[in-house]
Amino acid sequence: MGTNAENAFEAMKGTVGADEGVGEWFEVTQDLINTFANATHDHQFIHVDPERAKAGPFGAPIAHGFLTLSLLTHLSGSIKSSGAGSVPMTGVVAGVNYGFDKVRFVSPVKVGSKIRAKGVTSDVNLKDPNTILSKRTLTIEIEGGSRPAVIAEWITMLAFA
């Protein structure tokens, strides 16, 4: 019998490559964009000036790329996972954002668009007897769009007692 992390790791290995499914649609509003602009001090007109943005390169205000990326926390929470997140685990004391291996901002998210995430468990590693690193490839889709908004390889660290 191994540690809690070692036992979870053995179960999680079988989820690598598993399609986790898709989450629920979420509307990106001008209020959300403005709130993010205020928090980050990024008030570029393509985000916060609807009239000027209409004449700009995208024909409408767009969400900040980092706003769209930050919504992964919310968007991925609505995925009904069949991947590593669905494995029963004992002794987890913390799950924390470890970082990203790769992020690509593929298409802009125009104000009023609806977005959702879909995920695939892409890698699982036992860092030490009490810690697992789980990587998910998450794609943020735009309703009606032919290309995704964001593709990101997100790493979560799970610490076990």
Contact indicator for 157, 36 with CB cutoff of 8 Å = no
Which residue ranges form the domains of the chain, and what is each CATH number?
4-160 (3.10.129.10)
pLDDT at 9: 95
* pLDDT at residue 79, as a whole number: 86
Residue 89 has a pLDDT of: 87
Joined tokens for residue 128: 């030490």
Residue pLDDT, tens place only, 82-119? 555 567 889 999 999 999 999 999 999 999 999 999 99
What are the E-state strand segments in the chain? Answer: 19-22, 26-27, 92-105, 114-128, 131-142, 150-160
Whole-angstrom CA distances from 125 to 13, 52, 149, 158 are 8, 48, 28, 10
One digit per residue, the tens of pLDDT, for the chain of length 161 reads: 799 999 999 999 999 998 999 999 999 999 999 999 999 999 999 999 999 999 999 999 999 999 999 999 999 988 875 555 567 889 999 999 999 999 999 999 999 999 999 999 999 999 999 999 999 999 999 999 999 999 999 999 999 99
Given a contact cutoff of 8 angstroms between Cβ atoms, the answer to whether 141 and 149 are in contact is yes
Residues in the chain: 161
* pLDDT value of position 85: 57
pLDDT of residue 81: 58
